[in-house]
Structure 1
Amino acid sequence: MTSRTPWFSETGVGEELLLLHPGGTDSTATAPLSAQLPDYRRLLVDRPGHGRSPDVDGAWSFTQMAEAVAQVLETHTTPAHIVGWSDGAIVGLHLALRRPELVRSLVFGGAAFHRSGWLDGVLEGEPPEFMREAYAAISPDGGQHWPVVVQKAQQLHHREPDLSTQDLLRLRLPVLIVVGDDDQVRWPHLIEMLEALPDGELAVIPRATHGAIVEKPGLLAPLIREFHQPEPENGLAPIRRHG
């Protein structure tokens, strides 16, 4: 297996919006949210080893995945808004840090910037059967490669993400942190991230879990549109954004 540009699709017209799916899934997981954002030019990507993109040799890393996504964005003339969920959010964060010229803004959904930010036990155990079936149905590597993908993902999550608040301080673009109110990330970790970001915002989706991207796309979409407004309001009595 060799590195190549991952599978992607483009739909609509307007500002570029790249949607990055969670781990263990493919871009179909972002389709419900994409459908709520018809006023953008939406790019859906299957990262290497996911969906319609073949696996790559060796272990996975979020840096490697960000580089693969960058290959897609390099074919476009303008930087894109990034919306990522779970592993997709971490990929988007690495992309913003490594290739800021390709990124206008980042929605960081349902994720941690360091592996210590996950709640205990949420990354343990085997993926559900429906993920294996979905992978086998479309992967160019065939269903027999699924155990390899699961093992690579488990090894990745034991090592990464391993970013720091010093890394977050280097970001010079708007970042919206989004989580479900019953998500898999520690609340103090999210606050630490918010306080470290030079231009950060935080939104909590009510009655939503780690699957908020498919549970509540109708709530996520207007948050994203509001976040992308060129001159955002700071409210009547700003404290963190005062001055």
Structure 2
Amino acid sequence: MWREIEPDETRTVKVDGHDVVTYSFGSGDDVVFCLNGGPGLPCDYLRDSHSCLIDHGYRVVAFDQLGTGASDRPTDPALWTITRYVEEVETVRRALGLGKVHLVGQSWGGWLAIEYALTYPEALRTLILENTVGDIPHLVTELERLRAALGPETVAMMQRHEADGSLDHPEYQAAVTLLNYRHVCRLPEWPAPVQRSLSDWNMGPYETMQGPNEFCYTGNLKDWNRIPDMHEITVPVLITVGQHDELTPACAARMKHALPDAEVAVFPNSSHMPFFEEPQAFFPVLLDFLKRRKRG
């Protein structure tokens, strides 16, 4: 099960003149390479939740994406594109000599992992898509469904604040907080690695690429849809999703049907972070997949 572990190695990689800080746990050639969500979040929550895989013989590698955590934080919004981040992932993989990897992408990291898999398919052993989607316009329709459960008056209030730009209004923030506790993490107290990542969120990349919050997509990824291309991903794929996930089981099913070799695990008591919400159920599924489906 997950626990906080000090990395065995911390290295800085140069990416187009910027410093990106990487973290490595364990050793060996069987590498689990983690791409965390956000955009704009440090990797603490995904790094610390998955580093326990070293107990089963895997090397686990994560990094603070440019603009986050201990990495450089430039302010040029032109840097915040999924295409540039794909090249960042490849630069880190090559610089650390990781070879073929088991690529884990969670949330935004899943969008990045899909894009990476389509660009550098030869770099993968397997692909693990955790709490993510392949089609953001479809996700937006699902988020509207989740918001509707708050009731028509609350939805109308949220839409009014989104229209006039008053997203900092207490009633709007209260609705977002309720949605977060329903669909992001259902634990009464969020784990320390999650709190650390959230407390150091760089909203520059997030607002540029996604939007003002988890339930309002206005950024440069709002039309991103790779479902028509996902048949090109031929490595084994594991898709994990919480029953109450903001990136819903319907989104997971859409990816599964688009992929030639994929399986889905739905965790009934989780939302967006089953590795924290249901670790006793989550990690056996992940480990079983890695054992059964890894390729050379």
**Could you state the TM-score of these two structures normalised by the residue count of structure 2?**
0.66
Deviations 1:172-206 (A, max 9, x none): 11111110110012443322211110111101112
Partner SS state of residue 6, structure 1: strand
Aligned counterpart, 1:88: 109
Give aligned pairs, total.
222
**Between 84-93 and 159-168, the greater mean CA deviation after superposition:** 159-168
Cα deviation for residue 163 of structure 1 reads: 2.6
Aligned counterpart, 2:210: 154
Cα distance change, pair 217–18 in 1 and its aligned pair in 2 (3 A): farther
Cα distance change, pair 78–184 in 1 and its aligned pair in 2 (3 A): same
Task: Report which of the two structures shows the higher radius of gyration computed on alpha carbons.
Answer: 2
Cα deviation for residue 64 of structure 1 reads: 1.6
Partner SS state of residue 68, structure 1: helix
Deviations 1:100-119 (A, max 9, x none): 12221111111111112323
Aligned counterpart, 2:47: 31
Matched, 1:6 2:29: no
- State how 1:189-200 maps to structure 2 within 5 Å: 189-200=251-262
Provide the C-alpha distance between the structure 2 equivalents of 1:133 and 1:98, rounded to a whole number of angstroms: 30
Aligned counterpart, 2:181: none
Give ranges in structure 2 of 5+ residues lacking alignment: 1-14, 148-161, 169-175, 178-194
Cα deviation for residue 77 of structure 1 reads: 4.8
RMSD: 3.0
Provide the C-alpha distance between the structure 2 equivalents of 1:165 and 1:79, rounded to a whole number of angstroms: 24
Cα distance change, pair 189–12 in 1 and its aligned pair in 2 (3 A): same
Aligned counterpart, 1:16: 31
Aligned counterpart, 1:58: 77
Deviations 1:12-41 (A, max 9, x none): 023111111110422111134324311211
Matched, 1:112 2:133: yes
Q: Percent identity?
A: 24
Partner SS state of residue 37, structure 2: coil
Matched, 1:135 2:200: yes
**Could you state the TM-score of these two structures normalised by the residue count of structure 1?**
0.78
Partner SS state of residue 120, structure 1: helix
**Between 146-155 and 107-116, the greater mean CA deviation after superposition:** 146-155
Q: Normalized per residue, which structure has more helix? A: 2
Partner SS state of residue 70, structure 2: coil
* 8 Å Cα contact 1:5-1:68 kept in structure 2: no
Cα distance change, pair 9–195 in 1 and its aligned pair in 2 (3 A): same
Cα distance change, pair 3–63 in 1 and its aligned pair in 2 (3 A): farther
Aligned counterpart, 2:277: 215
Give ranges in structure 1 of 5+ residues lacking alignment: 137-145, 233-243
* 8 Å Cα contact 2:77-2:204 kept in structure 1: no
Q: Which residue type is aligned with residue 143 of structure 2? A: D
Matched, 1:44 2:58: no
